[in-house]
Amino acid sequence: MEFNVIVADESHLVYADSICKEIEESAKENKLGLARRTPEYISAKIESGKAVIALTEDGEFAGFSYIETWGGKSFVANSGLIVACKFRGHGLAKRIKEQTFILSRLRFPDAKIFSLTTGSAVMKMNYEFGFRPVPYGELTDDPEFWKGCEGCSNFDILTRNEYRLCLCTGLLYDPKEHLTIHHPGEK
């Protein structure tokens, strides 16, 4: 099966409801801590060029992810990675994650990129892109970011632990930790 994985634009606003429903159903089905989002929130990410969407050749919604900046654009969160149930098992999540990572690096090349997840598959993908697990203290301290966790079924755990610990693993990619290696003879 072939998929188009691209930066979403205004022509993709029609998928906002489907994306929200897929996030909610997946959270229930897999008992994951996925924060619920509204169609308006998803639409804003699409309109601002901060979203990646996957579609079948026939234009059917297959997957989605988005980015957001925090802490004066010094941090970028890769969030909302979802693959529609019927399209799982085709390696699509990795392709969406890759395009989301590229979008983050292109738009905010000096920012630290982070992700919170309870899913082992997302953790594995993040490791492959150079993310490392970190305590929450190394993530953004922007209170607006943490408000986004309010839609998660595990929010009470986060608040009980004063925003220092939850079921999600915090993962961070710091571009300063990934040096360019020069080969002999190169300038």
Q: What is the CA radius of gyration of the chain?
A: 17
**Strand 112-117 relative to strand 75-83: parallel, antiparallel, unpaired?**
parallel
- Domain residue limits, the chain: 3-177
Closest CA to 65 of 85, 33, 92, 90: 92
**pTM (2 decimals)?**
0.85
Quick check: 167 and 123 in contact, CB under 8 A? no
CATH T-level fold of 3-177: Aminopeptidase (3.40.630)
Query: Which residues are CB-neighbours of 61 under 8 A, at least 6 positions away?
Result: 15, 18, 19, 22, 53, 54, 55, 84
- Each residue's pLDDT, cut to its tens digit, for the chain (187 residues) gives 899 999 999 999 999 999 999 988 876 665 555 667 899 999 999 999 999 999 999 999 999 999 999 988 999 999 889 999 999 999 999 999 999 999 999 999 999 999 988 888 889 999 999 999 999 999 988 888 888 888 778 889 999 999 888 988 999 999 999 766 565 666 5
